[in-house]
Chain A
Amino acid sequence: MIKTLFLINNNGDVIIEKHWRGLTPRSVAQYFWNEISNYENKKDAKPIIQTQKETLIFIERVDMYYLAVIPIEGSPLMVVEFLDRLSQIFAKFFGKMPTEDVIKENFVIIYELLDEMMDNGFPLTTEPSVLEEMINISKQRSVKSSDLIPTGSLSNTPWRKPGIKHSPNEILIDFIERIDTIIEVNGTPVTTEIDAKALVDCRLSGMPELTMSFNQPRLVEDISFHPCVRYNHWEQYQKVNFVPPDGEFQLLTYSIKSPNIQVPIYSDPIFKWEKNKGVLDLKIGIKNNQEKPVENVSIIIPFPKNIEKPKLVCSDGSVLFDESSKKIKWKIGKLKERASHLSGTIPLTPDTAPPEERPTALAEFRVVSLSASGLKVDRIDLHNENYKVFKGVRFITEAGNFQIRF
């Protein structure tokens, strides 16, 4: 249960404050700021801070701090999740990441949103499509109050209002499978896992009911769903049955851990700390059995504080060095048939010992229409409505937390 919400910018200034259960002085926000300023890196601050009277729970999103003041015992996950949803809904409403400027620009709408989203410290409505109906974002001030009844929210499907019309009717589903892996120096993965979500862009008329079936439903044992999906149906038939909200939403998430995950790239890392420098050699290439183009490839290698500007050569793309964060960023772009190669030396700051920790590279890439897990959608059926519908399903494999150990 949230007593007060503060939105705080990167300098510790309160931008928005909203009180649900009595006023909280701004000094609490100041206290919070002092606490997290003790950390060298603010990201290392624990998300729960105990003061004498209250508990503070915060999240940080795009340099904005969402601080909730919690007066009494309750589920902390509920608070964190609510704050997270808040930032997501802001992003959805304003069409861009909720930075300080965006928030200042839309502060009135934010207050209206907060009023609808929380009552007496309890989350009320967090369904974006319902909020969009209730809050007039279009700045047209002539809207009459009677137009604002949240019709959909009263039905059995509060996320969808009746009478939606689209032409043509189409539903596009992007399955984004992100590979999380840690690959040892010798090329064997310590762990490989897929963390996937299905993003739906739904433009269907009326009250469509959809059933989606997979080729191997057993692969996705831990699947979880948007509230519009009937859980019971899944448990019984291993099919996803739902009445979709209108527009974009995240239908489901799943993760897969299996030795059969197709990792589209391979790496050959060599690294050695010598007396006053590190010697780096890294090859990245497409795996033999991989036919789809691997795009947007880039490699980031963070280094400890005591290194100087490195001397590096690469066969493809470009190498950048960020002096402040001590990160090497190698942008490759689209992988060619032969492996791309990066090599060179990283000088140490004079009179410092080589670090103990070996560097780890983080890879990024994107492969369109590859399902790394092997999961496929068998079919999508439309019930309840009688129109023709265009159904598009696309699998995209991306690098998630893709680590290459040196």
Chain B
Amino acid sequence: MSKFYKIKVIRRNEIKDSLDNEDINAKLDALHLIVAMMSRGKYTDDFFPDVIKNIVTEEMEVKKLVYLYLLHHAEKEPDLALLSISAFQKDLKHTNQLIRALALRVMSSIKIPMISQLILLAIKDSVNDSSPYVRRSAALAIPKVFQLSPDLKSSLIELIEGLFGDDHPMVIGGVIAAFNEVCPDSYPIINPFFRKILSKLPDIDEWGQVSCLELLMRYARTHDFWNSISSDSENPQDNINEKTPLDPDLILLLKSSSLLFRSHNPAVVSAVASIFFYLAPPSQLLLLPKFLIKFLKSSPQTQFIILYNIGTICSKYPELFRPYYQEFILSVTDPEYIRKLKVNILAEITDQTNIYNTFKEIRNYLHNSSIPVVTEAIRAISKSTLKAPVILDSCLTCLMKLVHNRPDEIIGQSVSMIKILLQTKPEEHIDIITEFTKLIDKISQPEAKASAIWVVGEYSDKIPTFAPDVLRKCAKSFKNEPVLVKHQILNLAAKLFLRNKEQTYSLVEFILKLAKFDDDYDIRDRARFVSYLLFNGTPISNHLNEIFLTTKATLVLPSEFGKLESFTLGTLSNIQNQPIPGYVPLPNFPEIPPDPSLRKPIKSESKKSKKSKKSKKSKKSKKNNQNEKNNQNEQNEQSKQSKKSKKSKKKKKLRLTKEMKKQYSFLFSEDEDFYSSTESEKEENLLKSEEKEESLLKIEEIEEKTEKDLENKENSNISISKTTSSYSSRSTSSYSSRSYSTSSSSYSSESESESKSKTESKSKTKSKSKSKSKSKSKSKSESESESKSESKSKSKSESESKSKSKSKSILDISNSKKSQNNLSNIQLDEIIQKDNQPSNQLISNLDNSEVDLNSLFFNSIPTQSKHKMPEKIQEEIPNFETRILLNRVKGNGLEINYQISRKSSVYQYHTTIQLTLTNHRKETINNITMASESKYIIPFPKINILNSKQTTDTICSINFRVKTETISFTIETTTEKFPVKITPKIGEMLVSKEINEDEFDKEIQKLKGMNQTSIKISLETTTIEEISRIIKQNVNMFQLISSLESTLKFFGLTNESNSKKIYIQFQDSLLKIFSENFFIIHILLKDLKAVLINK
């Protein structure tokens, strides 16, 4: 095709002939030639009639080229362009959706105001098209009509409002773009769709996401979500702390948008960053840096804008990017503008904590080859020094090196910065001030010279011998100095006059005389002012020292990005630091927030009924919607592969009843005023019943799934996730608010974890004092014979528990204090600790302690006594699953089973694993050991002899580090090695801990929203006791006695150094898990979900 581009001699008549030709190839050649001429900026207007004739073609290629030509020329030839309209109108009814969409797109792009009404009609038809592709084109055509004839705004807004009801994400993206352009502040339209937009957000195309996020941010700003807690309405965001309850809609907004941080499109990520910057509580901004910084690897143009984003954020929250300072180190490949920005950001995020690192880096840049970068570096290094004065001396030394033999800009910047730095500690740097007196002759740059003279004047008392000489030199050159310098010379004169009248009197007089006849009126004014003050003893003259010689406050260098903050983050205006046409400042939070109930979604049924009154169109649209729904369902089914027919039948039944209900409501609302409150109530009820059905449906699905699971365990995770996803997609179609609670993502907040660790350390110190008294009882039990100790220590523990009211987590400390030589001691300690629980739990725990004691025995003597344990106990306490570590066949007769024990381990943060070894061989097994290189595994003591058919119990400890990674190690005997592995469950990596209910409720209030996840469990198929049992069995947590009936509450800590608190609450058939660590709660939820549904 390049031949067309390169043809120089064009025979216009030949082209025209070819356009009339029937042969498609000739036509295409001609059109290609014309387009090539257009590209090269050649005159092609004269082909207009010949080209337009071909618009009726059925040939797609020809059509596209004709359209291309038409759009390029329509403005110049409006009359001729009108001829094409009938062709478009024909195409709008074409059977091919692509052609319909193309026709609408091109027709609406013709910039002739005359046809705007026609386009409007075409759009009105197309918004009800069956193809979402066409509907999107219709949405995007709306702003074009608005550009042509703004007077059609009201009917356009109506169209937009209608399109918001569309469920296809492709259309939503388009309609939001239209909304932003046509009626960006008609927020009432958004109200009912707010939650729907959020639920669709991940499915919208990436460009639509950008418009969407931008709209959501403005919407959220105008609909204050903070229940106006703040006293000053200027910026409530700053006043929020962790305790402030956030509006659920805001949480939803943040949650939904935070998912898009994972987008590979920087525009999307930057838009999410803006939402967080302007709306999220400061503690939740911690997520922000890493996702922005990632794009510092992309093209310099993207980096440029991202760096501006970062800079703007830094000017408000410099601490956010502090840990990432290395990302801003200059690279030799960076263009100059990137280098400048990076240096500025480095200065912005420098403080005492990282000054040595950043200083070392910025110091390197003082020798950069680019002068603008060096001046920025000088400024940056000075700014850092002001923030962290520890490096003042080294910084001044660096800068002083730059005032010789350098380009003017560098000398100027250095001198100006030295001047500012000197103000912090002038008395320590007299040598530099002296150096300055020598410099003044050499400096040519006005600002630098002015600064130098100012320094001499300001600190003239510290260099009494040099200062008058400087004034003498200045007097000599006064005539030829720039205005800026003259001002400072006058200042210097006045200051010296006050400090050293004898030596300088005549000099000052001379300079003032010169100045009075200066060309510049400012200088003349200033001279008169000074001489009046100095020589004519007015009353003010007594205060001369206060006027000229006051100590100046240290300057703070303003942030380079500070001024940008006045423009919204991520906008063009923000980067250009000037308002670009069309810039609308970020709306302020309103003083009285609008009623959140406005956001209650309008139900789809009612919408339809509204429409049906208007015209028959609605029927069509309803059909479309239904079709779409069916389509979706079909797709769902497809994706689920071949399902059992039984299931699909059930589903269909349910769907049918649902449809019927809808029709019912539809009839109902036609008779009565739909807006009345009673009606809406009814609708709500209806919605609820629908929800119930859905939950039923869900449970059925899950049941199906479990069946499947049994068949195919490998795929279980995925299939479960599918059920939930299909469920949520269905529930969103009815916009139930409940479905949102299932979506989840959460963040840990630093400040909270800090406060927590404090309280922890407190409790530790408390327990220390108590542990002393306990050690006595232990020594007693030690002396007693082993057979006795069982009963004795039991009674002891009882009495202990009575006498000692509350002791907390003594174990860790006592462990670290004592050597580990006596295992049984410490286990006793545990028992005591466990018994310190409220009375009604005592019994079960006592039983528990018996078991512990039993196992305590087993450690030393291999016995079969385990079987003697009363069976009752096994029912009472959660029966831990015994799992196989090494099966009999693989172990060649050696069988090892294990249980993960709930007892706290001897070793800090370790979990105790109880192992039962059985020898099924005929011969004895010698020297059984456990080998592992991992420092997180403490093996069991070597078992020297295990006789044939004998069983022995022992324990080992593993620090799982709260990770669900599989732990591998080997079991070795004298002759063999067996590799084995343990896959831990997160529920076993927790430590149960006591907590009172008030505190529990308070804590979960704090964590609500961002740090919670939940699952719905219907009580119809299970009982609350059953749930309680299952949770206890699977998760090592403390169960609170809840004051509310049918509510379960559990509390525990993760077993690691910076342990996280975990709360589980079951209420109203909703199981909620709260924690700062989202990783844990998700895994926990997953585990619990599996067992609760599997049981």
A81/B267 in contact, CB under 8 A = yes
Q: Is the pair A72, B580 in contact by a Cβ cutoff of 8 Å? A: yes
Chain B positions 353-401 with a Cβ under 8 Å from a chain A Cβ: 361, 367-369
Within 8 A of A (CB), among B17-41: 24-25, 28, 32, 35-36, 39, 41
Stretch from A108-116, A259-267, A316-324, A328-336 contacting the other chain: A108-116
Bitwise, A110-140 to B at CB < 8 A (1) or not (0) is 0110010001101111100000001010000
- Asked if B290 is at the interface (CB within 8 A of a chain A CB), the reply is yes
Question: How far does the Cβ of B263 sit from chain A's closest Cβ, in whole Å?
Answer: 6
CA distance A73 to B574 in the complex (A): 10
Kindly provide the distance from the CB of B365 to the nearest chain A CB, expressed in whole angstroms.
Answer: 10
**Do B25 and A141 have beta carbons less than 8 Å apart?**
yes
Stretch among B137-145, B149-157, B782-790 lining the A interface: B137-145
From A50, A182, A224, B264 is in contact (CB under 8 Å) with A224
Query: Could you say which of B299, B300, B329 contacts A190, with CB atoms under 8 Å apart?
Result: B329
Q: Does B291 contact A (CB under 8 A)?
A: yes
Residue numbers in A under 8 Å from B368 (CB-CB): 357
Residues of chain B lying within 8 A (CB to CB) of residue A223: 262
Q: A75-B571, A356-B367 are in contact. Are A222 and B291 (CB under 8 A)?
A: yes
Among A143-151, A276-284, A344-352, which stretch is in contact with chain B?
A143-151
Partner of B572 from the list A46, A74, A222 (CB cut-off 8 Å) is: A74
In the bound complex, do residue A360 and residue B332 qualify as a contact, i.e. CB atoms below 8 Å apart?
Answer: yes
Q: Does B1086 contact A (CB under 8 A)?
A: yes
Q: A34 in the interface, Cβ–Cβ < 8 Å?
A: no
Binds A, one of B302-310, B867-875, B969-977: B302-310
Contact A107 B1 (CB under 8 A): yes
Q: How far is the CA of A232 from the CA of B67 in the complex (A)?
A: 42
A55: Cβ under 8 A from any B Cβ? yes
* CB <8 Å contact, B214 and A75: yes
Contacting pair B262 A231 (CB below 8 A): yes
Whether A105 contacts B639 by the Cβ 8 Å rule is no
Q: Is A290 an interface residue (CB 8 A)?
A: no
Which residue of B99, B326, B725 is within 8 Å of A191 (Cβ)?
B326
Q: Which of A166-174, A234-242, A366-374, A387-395 contacts B (4 or more CB under 8 A)?
A: A234-242
Per-residue CB contact flags for chain B residues 90-102 toward chain A (1 = under 8 Å, else 0) read 0000001111000
B664 part of interface (Cβ distance < 8 Å): no
Closest to B60 in A: A145
Asked whether A92 is an interface residue with its Cβ less than 8 Å from the other chain, the reply is no
Per-residue contact bits, chain A 37-68, to B (CB 8 Å; 1 contact, 0 not): 00001011111101000010111000000000
Q: Please tell me if the beta carbons of B207 and A119 are within 8 angstroms of each other in the complex.
A: no
Contact A55 B572 (CB under 8 A): yes
Q: Are A80 and B301 in contact (CB under 8 A)?
A: yes
User: Which of A12-20, A291-299, A307-315 is the contact stretch?
Assistant: A12-20
- Per-residue contact bits, chain B 312-348, to A (CB 8 Å; 1 contact, 0 not): 0000000000000011010111011100000000000
- Asked if B936 is at the interface of the complex by the 8 Å CB criterion, the answer is no
Q: Which of B581-589, B761-769, B856-864 contacts A (4 or more CB under 8 A)?
A: B581-589
Size bin of chain B's contact surface: 35 or more
Q: How far is the CA of A3 from the CA of B291 in the complex (A)?
A: 30
- Give min CB distance, B1021 to chain A, whole Å: 24
Say whether A108 contacts B35, CB under 8 Å.
Answer: yes
- Bound CA–CA A22/B71 (angstroms): 9
* Chain B: minimal CB distance from A184 (Å): 10
Pick the contact of A115: B1, B68, B132, B725 (CB < 8 A): B68
Interchain CA distance A28-B206 in the complex, whole Å = 30
Q: Is the CB of A21 within 8 A of B147?
A: yes
Interface residues of B in 261-308 (CB under 8 A from A): 261-267, 269-271, 290-291, 293-294, 297, 299-302, 304-306
B203 contact set on A, CB distance < 8 A:
156
- By the criterion CB–CB under 8 Å, are B132 and A77 in contact? no
On whether A225 and B264 interact (CB within 8 A), knowing A16-B39, A78-B207, the answer reads yes
Is A145 in contact with B639, judged by CB distance below 8 angstroms?
no
Give the residues in chain B near A207, CB-CB below 8 Å.
638-639
**Interchain CA distance A250-B298 in the complex, whole Å:** 14
A104 is an interface residue with CB less than 8 A from chain B = yes
**Is A70's beta carbon under 8 Å from chain B?**
yes
Give Cα distance in the complex from A236 to B262, angstroms. Answer: 13
Q: Hey, what's the 0/1 contact readout for B739-774 against A, CB within 8 Å counting as 1?
A: 000011100000000000000000000000000000
What is the minimal beta-carbon distance from B202 to any residue of chain A, in angstroms? Answer: 6
Task: Check if A177 is an interface residue, CB within 8 A of chain B.
Answer: no
Residues of B within 8 A of A272 (CB): none
A43 closest partner in B (C-beta) = B335
Interface positions, chain B 623-654, Cβ under 8 Å from A, are 632, 635, 638-639, 641
Cβ of A35 < 8 Å from any Cβ of B?
A: no
Q: How far is the CB of A303 from chain B (nearest CB, A)?
A: 11
The answer to the question of A285 belonging to the interface, with a C-beta cut-off of 8 Å to chain B, is no
Q: B65 contacts which of A58, A108, A124 (Cβ < 8 Å)? A: A108
- CB of A304 closer than 8 Å to a CB of B: yes
List the A side residues contacting B71 at CB < 8 Å: 19
Cβ of A252: which chain B residues have Cβ within 8 Å of it?
264
Closest residue of chain A to B204 (Cβ to Cβ) is A227
Docked CA distance A149–B102 (Å): 12
Which of A19, A78, A146, A384 is packed against the most chain B CB atoms within 10 Å? A78
Is B438's CB within 8 Å of the partner chain A? no
CB-based contact B717/A237 at 8 Å: yes
Q: Are B297 and A255 in contact (CB under 8 A)?
A: yes
A233 at the interface (CB under 8 A from B): yes
Cβ-based interface call for B210 (8 A) = yes
A14 to B820, CA, bound (A): 81
Task: State which residues 98-135 of B face A: CB under 8 Å.
Answer: 98-99, 105, 108-109, 111, 131-133
Query: B576 interface residue, CB < 8 Å from A?
Result: yes
CA distance A122 to B176 in the complex (A): 11
Task: Please provide the chain B residues from 538 to 585 with a CB less than 8 Å away from any CB of chain A in the complex.
Answer: 570-573, 575-576, 578, 580-584
- CB nearest to B258 among chain A residues: A235
Residues of A within 8 A of B68 (CB): 111-112, 115
Complex contacts, B304 vs chain A, CB 8 Å: 46-48
CB of B574 to closest CB in A, whole Å: 9
**Residue on A nearest B357 in the bound complex, by CB:** A190
Residue A180 CB within 8 A of the other chain: yes
How far is B67's CA from A220's CA once the two chains are assembled, in angstroms? 47
CB of A287 within 8 Å of the partner chain = no
Residue of A nearest to B2 (CB): A105
Whether B260 and A231, one on each chain, are in contact in the complex, defined by CB atoms closer than 8 angstroms, is yes
Q: Is the CB of B721 within 8 A of A237?
A: yes
Q: Could you tell me the distance in whole angstroms from the C-beta of B646 to the nearest C-beta in chain A?
A: 21
Contact B305 A224 (CB under 8 A): no
Tell me, yes or no, whether A274 is within 8 Å of chain B by CB.
Answer: no
Q: Report whether B335 and A108 are in contact in the complex, using a CB–CB cutoff of 8 Å.
A: no
Tell me if A126 and B305 are in contact (CB < 8 A): no
B266 touches A77 (CB 8 A): yes
Contact between B35 and A107, CB atoms less than 8 A apart: yes
Q: Are B140 and A120 in contact (CB under 8 A)?
A: yes
Q: Bound complex: CA of A384 vs CA of B674, how far in Å? A: 45
B968: shortest Cβ distance to chain A, in Å? Answer: 13
A24: Cβ under 8 A from any B Cβ: no
Residue ID in chain B nearest A156 by CB atoms = B635
Chain B residues within 8 Å of A80, by CB? 266-267, 299, 301-302, 305
| A10 proximal to B (CB < 8 A) | no
A107-B5, A111-B68, A231-B260 known; A381 and B98 CB under 8 Å? Answer: no
How distant is the Cα of A357 from the Cα of B584 in the complex, in angstroms? 45
Contact A302 B99 (CB under 8 A): no
| With A48-B305, A148-B60, A153-B133 already in contact, 10 other A-B pairs whose C-beta atoms are closer than 8 Å | A17-B41, A57-B301, A112-B68, A120-B144, A141-B25, A144-B60, A145-B96, A153-B170, A227-B206, A401-B331
30 contacts between A and B (CB under 8 A): A20-B109, A22-B75, A73-B584, A74-B571, A78-B207, A80-B266, A104-B5, A105-B2, A108-B4, A115-B68, A120-B108, A122-B140, A126-B206, A143-B61, A148-B96, A149-B98, A156-B632, A195-B297, A222-B291, A224-B262, A224-B263, A224-B269, A224-B291, A227-B264, A241-B718, A241-B721, A253-B294, A302-B332, A356-B367, A381-B715
Identify the 4 closest CB pairs spanning chains A and B, nearest first: A72-B582, A145-B60, A105-B2, A123-B207
